[in-house]
Structure 1
Amino acid sequence: MSPRRVLWVAGTVELGTLALLLANLATIHLPELTRVLGPVHGLAYTATVITAVLVMGGRHRVWLLALIPGIGGLLAAPAARLRPATDDGWR
């Protein structure tokens, strides 16, 4: 799986868990659901930021977008397009 795809998946999981947490808070507020989704959301957010740092390739915009809670991973995935390598091997 490409790093950009991993970033997209982690961003989708992050957004989905955040939406479920907010829906739970606004409606029935089950503590058990919060206990499960809270750590999953935190892990997805952390995975999004770490993946963005690993694929940024010298572009700070990628990991800065990933820092935005909720939608950061989905914004960073298109910005993480891989650049073609130059002749000297540096990007």
Structure 2
Amino acid sequence: MPVLRFASAVEAISLVVLLVNLVTLHARPVSAVVGPLHGAAYLVVIMITLLARAPIVPGVRLRALIPGIGGLLAVRRLKRGETPGQ
């Protein structure tokens, strides 16, 4: 779960950086660096939730598919939810 937390934070922060860059300077170097970082973090969040071997809380995998904030929603659901069978 620490990797999921880190990847979801990187995903959300990089989205904010991209949006702020779009509204203000629209500097291409920022987009060129942060864009792929955001995409990679998004894919890591999805892969972590899809490939989890442990019983996972219902709805976490679907939440992880939401771009930008899906990782944060998945982490929040994992903190609050119970695993199946409890």
Shorter-chain TM band: 0.7 to 0.9
Identify unmatched segments of 5+ residues in structure 1. Answer: 87-91
How much is the aligned-residue C-alpha RMSD, in angstroms?
Answer: 2.3
Identify unmatched segments of 5+ residues in structure 2. Answer: none
Contact 1:65 1:73 in 2 (8 A): yes
Partner of 1:78: 76
Distance 1:12 1:72 in 2: 10
**What aligned pairs does 1:1-91 form with structure 2 within 5 A after superposition?**
4-55=1-52, 57=55, 59-80=57-78, 83=83
Distance 1:48 1:58 in 2: 14
Give the C-alpha shift of residue 54 in structure 1: 2.3
Q: Which moved more, 1:73-82 or 1:26-35?
A: 73-82
| Runs (4+) off by over 4 Å | none
Give percent identity, aligned residues only.
41
Normalising by structure 2, report the TM-score: 0.82
Deviations 1:33-91 (A, max 9, x none): 1000110000000000001112373545111000111111111013335748x7xxxxx
Contact 1:13 1:41 in 2 (8 A): yes
Aligned length: 83
The one-letter code matched in structure 1 to 2:33 is: V
3-state SS of paired residue (1:57): coil
Deviations 1:10-36 (A, max 9, x none): 110000000000000000000011000
Distance 1:5 1:78 in 2: 13
